[in-house]
Amino acid sequence: MGRIASEAIIERLATWGVDTVFGIPGDGINGIMEGLRRHQEKVRFVLVHHEEAAAFMATGYAKATGKIGVCLATSGPGGIHLLNGLYDAKLDHMPVLAITGMQETSVLGTGYQQEVNLDKLFADVAEYDQMIYNPAQLPSVVDNAIRTAYARRGVAHLTVPNDIQVADADADPWAHVAPAASPIMLAVPKQPAEEDLRQVASLLADGKKIAILAGAGALHAREEVLDVAEALAAPVVKTLSGKAVVPDDSPFTTGGIGLLGTRPSEELMDEIDTLLMVGTNFPYTKHLPAAGKVRVAQIEADPARAGTRIPTEVPVVGDAKAALRALLPMLKPRTDTSFLEQCQEAMGKWRKKMAAQQSEQRSPIAPQFLVGVLDELAADDAVLTCDSGTIATWAARHWTIRGDRQFYLSGNLASMAPGMPYAIGIQHAFPGRQVIAFVGDGGFAMLMAERQRGVSPGRAAEIAARTVNKERARSGESATASRSSVSDISSARRGGLRSRSGAAGPTYAQLYNEARQRGIKGRSSMNKAQLKRALGR
């Protein structure tokens, strides 16, 4: 067989810098698997157990690297399984490309086995959604898909019928749409209009009690956020997705906002007269000041999202880092630091309260203690991923950002189970880095099988697996992963032996036994010394 169309796809992915594809093979994508086999030195294929996990891995990869994540699924059910992870990418604005198989063109529309119109099904989730009917569309549609995913910060989907996957790559050339020799992606202009920034500076100059709300779109702008905070003597409140914008021990932050946030952040929202929002689309508007009570400026990359959450006097479109850097010299430095000091005092009390909740003396060990120990022992550049559920509260409050640490969760979709696949995806991107999945027993059970796939090169799930609570499992009470030794405690307190994620779910013992059969190591983690041993410290 000569050069096939699937090779043109894989080669083009490689030209765009794609080095990893997450997925599961199937008859519907045999041709694409052949393309991957022929170009395995350029693009590696990471086999997963569930397509949803492949999409989460691609999303985690994109979140941590800023590069497009790619997942692959067979026709019909394989493609359907991708969807939840793809919606996670869509809602958290991550560039992800999904490639799926499709029945061969000669049977399309005949109700053939596994015939699901995946292009129609993906129409809502994907910014770019295209069936490939002719190899001559390649590599243009790959370029368009990737370019659109980056430009619109979302999902692109290509579905490829079996016969096209293995068709002669060079047949039927359509010279007039011949693509450029190399992929072209023109960056969106980052610099906001100077006049807009002058208006922001003027609004801030009038403020007496100013706060900055920084989100995921400012993760790359730590230095600039802190510089502006210092110039304005303004506390920085962080969204959960923007937790890593500034370190948690910075004197300029009051930590998170919302249900999982801090009291000082909540209180200051009632006090401020001016709010500067940077790189955030924070959804829980009831935790923001009442409309009309404060003057608001917002720096946002997407014009469609500038000024959408709260009445905003000065919406500015541009990149957070570039905008803040340009804004800084326009600011009138504030000499009155009393509001900031008041916030710092409140934060001092809050930190003590959080530390008390981490106490080793609490018996049985508290969830906060577990995260506290993880926090203490983890590397300064560790990446923490977590599931949705109560577990997110402890990650939010007891995992501290210091050094180059990062933190990722399914922010806006709030789906169960992304913690471990995110970690595995991120571990593939950064093989040498410590990546910790902090997962609930419910979420863990959903995609537990992926733990096996995370073994190599993955320290990813290692820590999660190491904190399995073996002793309790043996006594018929226990759970699975890191969060497990937390979940079983809260259940145990209520005298229950079952996972809180559902009475119909497996008991912890069943879950643990299944985990063990899959080669996952268990550890009992009842006190700090045991936890340290379990974590290999």
Ligand X SMILES: Cc1ncc(C[n+]2csc(CCOP(=O)(O)OP(=O)(O)O)c2C)c(N)n1
Q: 186: exposed, middle or buried (C-beta count within 10 Å: 0-12, 13-18, 19+)?
A: exposed
Secondary element (H or E) of residue 71: strand 69-73
For ligand X, the closer CB: 218 or 445: 445
For ligand X, the closer CB: 35 or 440: 440
Secondary element (H or E) of residue 161: strand 155-161
For ligand X, the closer CB: 139 or 367: 367
For ligand FAD, the closer CB: 73 or 426: 426
Closest distance between ligand FAD and the C-beta of residue 165, in Å?
35
Closest distance between ligand FAD and the C-beta of residue 270, in Å?
17
For ligand FAD, the closer CB: 60 or 217: 217
Contact partner at residue 239 from ligand FAD, ligand X, none, CB < 5 to 8 Å by partner kind: ligand FAD
For ligand X, the closer CB: 415 or 434: 415
Q: Which of 421, 420, 381, 423 is nearest to 402 (CA)?
A: 381
Closest distance between ligand X and the C-beta of residue 516, in Å?
19
Contact partner at residue 241 from ligand X, ligand FAD, none, CB < 5 to 8 Å by partner kind: ligand FAD
Contact partner at residue 114 from ligand FAD, ligand X, none, CB < 5 to 8 Å by partner kind: none
For ligand FAD, the closer CB: 310 or 409: 409
Q: Would you list the DSSP string of 389-402?
A: STHHHHHHHHS---
User: What is the rounded CA–CA span in Å between residue 214 and residue 280?
Assistant: 6
Locate 80 and state its tokens: 């359907």
Residue holding tokens 């120990």?
373
State the residues that interact with ligand FAD by CB under 6 A. 92-93, 215-217, 239-242, 256-261, 279-283, 299-302, 305, 319-320, 388, 392, 409-412, 414
Contact partner at residue 93 from ligand X, ligand FAD, none, CB < 5 to 8 Å by partner kind: ligand FAD
For ligand X, the closer CB: 264 or 389: 389
Closest distance between ligand FAD and the C-beta of residue 257, in Å?
5
Contact partner at residue 305 from ligand FAD, ligand X, none, CB < 5 to 8 Å by partner kind: ligand FAD
Contact partner at residue 201 from ligand FAD, ligand X, none, CB < 5 to 8 Å by partner kind: none
Closest distance between ligand FAD and the C-beta of residue 187, in Å?
11
Closest distance between ligand FAD and the C-beta of residue 528, in Å?
27
| CA 208 to chain CA centroid, nearest Å | 35
Length of the chain: 537
Closest distance between ligand X and the C-beta of residue 143, in Å?
33
Give the contacts of 330 (CB within 8 A, at least 6 positions apart): 197, 198, 200, 201
Q: Are 89 and 122 in contact (CB under 8 A)?
A: no
Secondary element (H or E) of residue 316: strand 314-317
Closest distance between ligand X and the C-beta of residue 78, in Å?
18
Contact partner at residue 501 from ligand FAD, ligand X, none, CB < 5 to 8 Å by partner kind: ligand X
Burial of 136-148, coded b for 16+ CB within 10 Å and e otherwise, reads: bbbbebbbbbbbb
Contact partner at residue 283 from ligand X, ligand FAD, none, CB < 5 to 8 Å by partner kind: ligand FAD
Contact partner at residue 260 from ligand X, ligand FAD, none, CB < 5 to 8 Å by partner kind: ligand FAD
For ligand FAD, the closer CB: 125 or 240: 240
What are the C-alpha distances in Å from 74 to residues 22, 370, 486? 12, 40, 37
Contact partner at residue 52 from ligand FAD, ligand X, none, CB < 5 to 8 Å by partner kind: none
Amino acid letter for position 200: V
Closest distance between ligand FAD and the C-beta of residue 205, in Å?
22
Contact partner at residue 442 from ligand FAD, ligand X, none, CB < 5 to 8 Å by partner kind: ligand X
Locate 28 and state its tokens: 């519907």
Q: Which of 98, 116, 118, 106 is nearest to 9 (CA)?
A: 98
Closest distance between ligand X and the C-beta of residue 511, in Å?
10
For ligand X, the closer CB: 155 or 316: 155
User: What is the rounded CA–CA span in Å between residue 255 and residue 46?
Assistant: 36
User: What is the rounded CA–CA span in Å between residue 71 and residue 36?
Assistant: 12
Q: 2: exposed, middle or buried (C-beta count within 10 Å: 0-12, 13-18, 19+)?
A: exposed
User: What is the rounded CA–CA span in Å between residue 104 and residue 28?
Assistant: 9
Closest distance between ligand X and the C-beta of residue 232, in Å?
37
Please give the DSSP secondary-structure letter assigned to residue 275.
E
Q: Rounding to the nearest 10 degrees, give the CA dihedral for residues 19, 22, 26, 30.
A: -10
For ligand X, the closer CB: 100 or 480: 480
Contact partner at residue 391 from ligand X, ligand FAD, none, CB < 5 to 8 Å by partner kind: ligand X
User: What is the rounded CA–CA span in Å between residue 439 and residue 445?
Assistant: 10
For ligand FAD, the closer CB: 306 or 511: 306
Closest distance between ligand X and the C-beta of residue 162, in Å?
31
Q: Which of 308, 303, 331 is nearest to 192 (CA)?
A: 303
Q: Are 221 and 280 in contact (CB under 8 A)?
A: no
State the residues that interact with ligand X by CB under 6 A. 387-391, 414-416, 440-443, 483, 487, 499-501
